[in-house]
Amino acid sequence: DGGITQSPKYLFRKEGQNVTLSCEQNLNHDAMYWYRQDPGQGLRLIYYSQIVNDFQKGDIAEGYSVSREKKESFPLTVTSAQKNPTAFYLCASSISYGGIISNTGELFFGEGSRLTVL
């Protein structure tokens, strides 16, 4: 079945460590996104990518980095510079046409990765 796979589901990190969250999709979607979810704050966009080898900062990119070397993969690194990294991270993808993201707005989400800093 087509979908988005995030791993790991749960991750614990010591302060000062970088961690990388994996996101893989087999939906053949060009666009991919990373969101952060905190209680009572909804979803906030970290980074997005419209096409391979290109990505843009979202609303809260500080302390995060991404890469998009393959269409199927969009890993997120939470660096030690992120001051409050404990959160639930959601990866999503959507259709785009020639680099223009569809305005139908349907995002397909993975099941999320919960990161806890000890």
**Residues contributing to the site for another protein (CB under 8 A):** 4, 6, 31, 40-43, 45, 48, 50, 58, 90, 92, 101, 103-107, 109-112
Name which of 78 and 91 has its Cβ closer to another protein. Answer: 91
Peptide bond into 75 cis (omega under 30): no
CA distances from 78 to 37, 51, 101 (A): 14, 22, 26
Name which of 1 and 15 has its Cβ closer to another protein. Answer: 1
Q: Contacts by 38-46 with C-beta closer than 8 Å and gap 24+?
A: 38/87, 38/88, 43/90, 46/76, 46/89
Distance in Å, CB of 15 to another protein, minimum: 27
Name which of 38 and 69 has its Cβ closer to another protein. Answer: 38
Distance in Å, CB of 80 to another protein, minimum: 27
Name which of 27 and 79 has its Cβ closer to another protein. Answer: 27
Distance in Å, CB of 50 to another protein, minimum: 7
Amino acid of residue 81:
A
